[in-house]
A and B are shown apart, each in its own frame.
Chain A
Amino acid sequence: MTTLNYTVKFHKTVLVSFIGLCLSQSCFALEEMSDEKLSNTTGEGIALLPRDTYMVFQGAGVNQTQDTVLTNRSLDTGYIYYVPVGPLSSIVQDTNKDGVVNASDHSVGKADLYLYGLALSKNASNNANLRLDAGSTNGVANAAIKSWGTATNPWIFNVKTDLNVPDFGAGAGSVTYLNFEAPLYENLYSFAADKKTVTTSAFVNDVGGEDAYNLKLAFWADGFVRDQSKADKDPNQFNLGEGFSTTATGRANRIRLQGIFNGFGLNGSKIQLFQTLGGATNTGGMSAFYNNTLGLAGVIRLNSGDGSKLLGTSTANSWTAPANLMSHVFRISTQECGVGNLNGCTTPAAQDILSTPAINGGTAPTFSDKEGIYIYNLNTNLVLGSLYQPLILGSDGTNFSIELARIPNKESIYKKIYTDYTGADTSYTGSTCNVYNCGASSIAGYQGSSATHSSISIGTVYSTDAGKTLLADKSAGAVGVSFNQLNNATSSNAQNNLGSALIDGMLIQHMKITTKGL
């Protein structure tokens, strides 16, 4: 047993005074912060700025030097595999819709999908068949994005509060949201007095951050038809025959494709995460299910730039394609090089029709450089909801749904969303997000991000009202989509030129996507 022996004897009063003094220090406990207090806080946030960066998903194996990474595309076999768990329903297997599943139906398989070699880099050489550009200068890869944004226009991750956001009912409230924003899109485009002629000015604010407007996204993929009656790794797992529950070897039960998107930017995109406001009841087409749950809103902008000047030259017996088409193109191709290839790339030998690196090992395939669908100068500006029209998640217990809340019949909300295209009633403040602008901007030199309508344009597209709305060019020189690469022709137009395309001013009034049969 231990006993304590004191060498100094304290008087009780001394001890009491000491304890008293110690206790008299004022201490403040941590106090709970209310939502109101939090909403008065201005978040400074974290700024993120990637520099000299690129990414490619290569196969599991030993470390490679940067030179090998940049030049050897056959190593791009790192993959993301979507495992098709869950049985097929009777509804999908009844292919002739006679109410019964039997030998009269075609076979139905599950989809086995492997996404390979995902790469994100700078578009350095306008090559629409190369997933990552080769070469380096002073040790920095040509494919590296020099600066994705700038110090004064970086990626931002912060918490913000918007006051007086109208709720689904009669009231309003403040919404605090987690905000993730890409760099803003510099206001590069100005219109002449005719409201049609566009001038693209040089970068002023984003000097040094130009690469953010010239990215390259690439991947290749293998998709299989899987026979669910065969166990995993069964030799016949991909040999599903034509009829119900049959097996046939030698069928081409695989789709192999490559996707390359050259010369686009993400600038101006943002995502907001928050708790929705309340006030909705199950009347007037609304749902109480909208109330006080996780809400999402975002603007997704994938822009290739102004397309109004992208015009070929057409005469009675000649057609000349616009220059530099490959600098802004989204291409999906399926043809592999190999013996007998009509486009001339006869080496290396094509891989087996049911082979894939994730299962059989080996290297990434070599794709032909001329075949495929080409989508030129794609500008996608998608507005998905807002703080007062959120995207919410729901479920009935087995299936799930993604719903963009219906716009309430409430003036303070719908006047923020709808557009008066005549401009007569300025109380309607909605507008369309396109490459030229995306709503009113509070920051000089940059485009806004408050627009409410979406726009998707392909190829030669112009505006006649200084960028408010867009029109697809219908002249013979217009380009947009083509099967196989566009080439000069000796007739008035190239045979494979399908022309430009446009979806403009798209407003989502109410959208609900529900899965079935899970």
Chain B
Amino acid sequence: MKKTVLLILTSLVSFHLAAMEALTDSDMQQVEGQAGADLSLKLVLNQINASDSYYTTNNAYKFDNGTGGICEKLQFCHLALSVNNRYVDANGLASSTEGNKLWVVFKGVQGTINIQKLGLDGVDLVYKNTTAMQMIKPSIQLSFDANQPIQIRNFGFNSLSIEKDDFTSKTNADGTVTESASGATESQYGYLKANKYVAKPQTTGANGSTANNYDVGRETGFMGVQMNGNLVLQGKLMMFSCDSTMNKRC
């Protein structure tokens, strides 16, 4: 009984593992593909959604920064990028090794993008090679229809700003980045700064300016972008592996 069980168990674990093998183009051609899929994709980012309790027709596609909204705390609706080794040192000069880390912050990132129809198919791309022989390359085909445009609503960001951390960081010899001292708090990080403009009355003199009421309540920065419309896109996009036999650039 013992030996039998051992034998059975051994046979169970001695299965063969076959490695994955590359599929050749001709193998792929043998496969009969069925009709592909039509996809519909909708992205609603930081905007009032139809399922929200405070949704009405008039506030559709609006930035969700009201009480209880996703972006009630504006600092959590930022998208920030920090390029490798960009710092400002203690003298206010640019440094690539140490200092206050710099961020490009997109504030108030929001938008709705509704791709009503995206066709996804696998097709054969027929072409002639350098010796004029007909070749077939399997390819993914993404297709878009003009009569089902991509709906873009208030997509963009409210302001773009360069921010820096209130504390210093440094790049180590191995390329990693560490903060010079521990204990940095939330508001000290550049990407979490959510300052807003306040109303400014008209002044004259060396530092004079006309009144500023346009920027009131907007997050600080220098440019916002907002896209609105139906992007009519017609056509097919073939995606295929680029190998050196068909293209010397690969």
Contact = CB atoms under 8 A, between A and B. Distances in A.
B and A form one assembly: yes
Interface of A: 10-11, 13-14, 17-18, 21-22, 25, 43-61, 63-66, 69, 77-90, 93, 99-103, 107-108, 110, 141, 144-145, 150-154, 156, 158, 181, 184, 226-232, 234, 237, 244-245, 275, 287-294, 358, 393-400, 442-443, 515, 518
A47 B92 contact: no
Given A65-B147, A87-B212, A18 B9 contact: yes
25 contacts: A14-B6, A44-B241, A63-B148, A64-B147, A80-B226, A82-B225, A85-B215, A86-B222, A87-B215, A88-B209, A90-B208, A101-B205, A110-B214, A141-B146, A151-B246, A156-B242, A158-B250, A227-B214, A229-B211, A234-B213, A290-B96, A292-B171, A394-B94, A400-B104, A400-B162
Contact of A78 (B10, B158, B205, B231): B231
A52 B145 CA distance: 11
A397 B235 contact: no
A57 B213 contact: no
A78 B244 CA distance: 41
A153 B247 contact: yes
A85 to B, nearest CB: 4
Interface string B195-206: 001001011111
Nearest to B205: A100
Contact of A55 (B5, B102, B232, B240): B232
A46 B238 CA distance: 10
Contacts of B93: 396
Contacts of B2: 11, 13-14
B213 A228 contact: yes
Nearest to B206: A100
A81 B238 contact: no
A154 B224 contact: no
A94 to B, nearest CB: 8
A102 B102 contact: no
A151 B243 contact: no
Interface in B1-19: 2, 5-6, 9-10, 13
A45 B242 contact: yes
B223 A84 contact: yes
Contacts of B156: 81
- Give the size range of B's interface with the partner: 35 or more
A442 B250 CA distance: 12
A152 B204 contact: no
A7 B59 CA distance: 65
Interface stretch (B35-43, B67-75, B78-86): B78-86
Contacts of B94: 287, 289, 394-396
Contacts of A398: 162
Contacts of B88: 395-397
A226 B213 CA distance: 11
A25 B16 CA distance: 11
B182 interface: no
Contact of A229 (B84, B100, B212, B231): B212
Nearest to B3: A14
Contacts of B168: none
Contact of B153 (A43, A60, A397): A60
B122 interface: no
B56 interface: no
A393 B86 contact: yes
B232 A48 contact: no
Closest 8 interchain pairs by CB?
A78-B229, A53-B235, A83-B224, A101-B208, A151-B127, A47-B242, A229-B211, A49-B238
B187 interface: no
B95 A289 contact: yes
A54 B153 CA distance: 21
B25 to A, nearest CB: 13
Contacts of B215: 85-87, 228
Contact of B221 (A50, A86, A101, A184): A86
Interface string B126-163: 11111000000101000000111101110010110011
Contact of A83 (B96, B125, B225): B225
B152 A87 contact: no
A83 B209 contact: no
Contacts of A107: 210
A82 B236 contact: no
Contacts of A90: 206-209
Contacts of B232: 55-58, 64, 69
A258 to B, nearest CB: 17
A193 B102 CA distance: 57
